[in-house]
Amino acid sequence: MNTTMKDVAKKANVSLSTVSRVINNSNLVSKDTAIKVRKAIKELDYQINESARALRTNISKLIGVIVAGMDNPFLMKVLKSIETEAIKENYNIIYGDSEGELEQELYYINMFQQKKIDGLVVMTAKFSDELIKYIKESNIPTVFASGHLKQSDLPSVTVNNVKAAEDVSEYLFGLDDYFGIIRGPYRDSVASEERMQGVINKYKEKNVPLKKKYISEGDFTFKSGYKAAKILIDKNKDISSIFAFNDQMAVGAIKYCIDNNIKVPDQISIIGFDDIEAAKYANPSLSTVYQSGTKLGIEIMNILLKEINGTQFTKKNVFIPHDLIIRESSK
């Protein structure tokens, strides 16, 4: 059977409580006994039983992460970064891909609750009222990381989607009188909604009517970008630039152009979002909005850990930096 604290106590000739103290680095224990106990621990190869500890302390050292779409390389970078940060504080990550379905999200959260997660990260597409209500009532420390929550006081950290989209728009307005947009799913993605807002702002600022036919909808996949590009180009014969709301759709759009003998960027400039690794190696290499998944993960965990530990933190809504990177796919 597994060796327990009891065995260690016996071996070291001390009481259970002393062993516990040593393990938890209490200073209420003399150096000598501590050494003695540590020796016993090593000799018996004793391992903490986290289940028992969790039962007793109500601390599971588990953090739940809900994402919408693990096929997104950018999200994976975030997921990796979160794990890296978590492990430093001895937390493990459990995750679930909701595919953007509320039902799935609720299901996962419920499951996570049973596992007594200490914290929750929500990187889902949509912040529905029901989801937010459920999370609030659960009382689990939570960080949102797809967009900002205006209607709520829950902490969030993301890139400044509005500003970033404005930057892209500004750039594209320098190329032509209008540009096409490949956005994310309608009414279903905060990130997409926010980026759209940035586009709308710039169109207004430039006094250009944002016609419906300038906008096409994708679902953040290569394929949808390919299709959306076709629609956009068919509808707007003179279109000369496209802003896709993520890199995959942008690459899909490029592919459509190439398949149809449309030169990128000579005839059409294409700009993406995220700057996934593949963007640099696309052909032509992809102009895009850089944001650091690693930084995002670090910031998420930073806030979450403060919440968990009850530490005060000033900024509830944090932006990570972004940067418009012009490569070969745009003039």
Partner DNA sequence: TTGTACGCGTTATCAG
Partner DNA sequence: CTGATAACGCGTACAA
State the minimum distance, in angstroms, from the CB of residue 49 to DNA: 3
Residue 260, binding choice from DNA, a second copy, none, Cβ under 5 to 8 Å by partner class:
none
- Contact with a second copy (CB under 8 A): which of 252, 265, 272, 297? 252
CA distances from 177 to 174, 234, 242, 323 (A): 8, 18, 12, 23
Angle at 172 between CA 326 and CA 239, to 5 degrees: 115
Closest CA to 329 of 253, 226, 235: 253
State the minimum distance, in angstroms, from the CB of residue 61 to DNA: 11
Cis before 284? omega within 30: yes
What track of x and - describes contact with DNA for positions 29 through 68 (by CB under 7 A)?
xx-xxx-----------xxxx--xx-xxx-----------
- Contact with a second copy (CB under 8 A): which of 43, 71, 130, 176? 71
Closest CA to 191 of 242, 156, 148, 222: 148
Residue type at position 199: V
- Contact with a second copy (CB under 8 A): which of 54, 102, 175, 231? 54
The reply on whether position 92 binds a second copy by CB under 8 A is yes
Give Cα 294 distance to the centre of its chain. 10
- Contact with a second copy (CB under 8 A): which of 17, 26, 70, 260? 70
Residue 33, binding choice from DNA, a second copy, none, Cβ under 5 to 8 Å by partner class:
DNA
The reply on whether position 17 binds DNA by CB under 7 A is yes
Closest CA to 250 of 270, 228, 232: 270
Handedness of CA 78, 84, 90, 92 (dihedral sign): positive
State the minimum distance, in angstroms, from the CB of residue 59 to DNA: 9
State the minimum distance, in angstroms, from the CB of residue 311 to a second copy: 24
Closest CA to 74 of 308, 275, 229, 307: 275
**3-state secondary structure labels for all residues of 159-197:** ECHHHHHHHHHHHHHCCCCCCEEEECCCCCCHHHHHHHH
Other CB atoms within 10 A of residue 240 CB:
18
Give, for 263, the enclosing helix (H) or strand (E).
none
DSSP letters spanning 201-248: HHHHHTT----GGGEEE--SSHHHHHHHHHHHHHH-TT--EEEESSHH
State the minimum distance, in angstroms, from the CB of residue 321 to a second copy: 21
The reply on whether position 283 binds a second copy by CB under 8 A is yes
Query: Per CB under 7 A, which region of 7-15, 60-68, 191-199, 295-303 contacts DNA?
Result: 7-15
| Closest to a second copy by CB, 165 or 279 | 279
| Closest to a second copy by CB, 37 or 75 | 75
Cis before 265? omega within 30: yes
Residue 18, binding choice from a second copy, DNA, none, Cβ under 5 to 8 Å by partner class:
DNA
> In this structure, are residues 291 and 246 in contact, taking their beta carbons and an 8 Å threshold?
no
- Contact with a second copy (CB under 8 A): which of 49, 260, 267, 309? 49
| Closest to DNA by CB, 21 or 202 | 21
Give residues in contact with DNA (CB under 7 A): 1-2, 4-6, 13-18, 20-21, 23-24, 27-30, 32-34, 46-49, 52-53, 55-57
Give residues in contact with a second copy (CB under 8 A): 47-52, 54-55, 58, 60-62, 70-71, 73, 76-77, 79-80, 83-84, 87, 90, 92-97, 110-116, 221-222, 226, 248, 251-252, 254-255, 258, 277-278, 280-283, 285
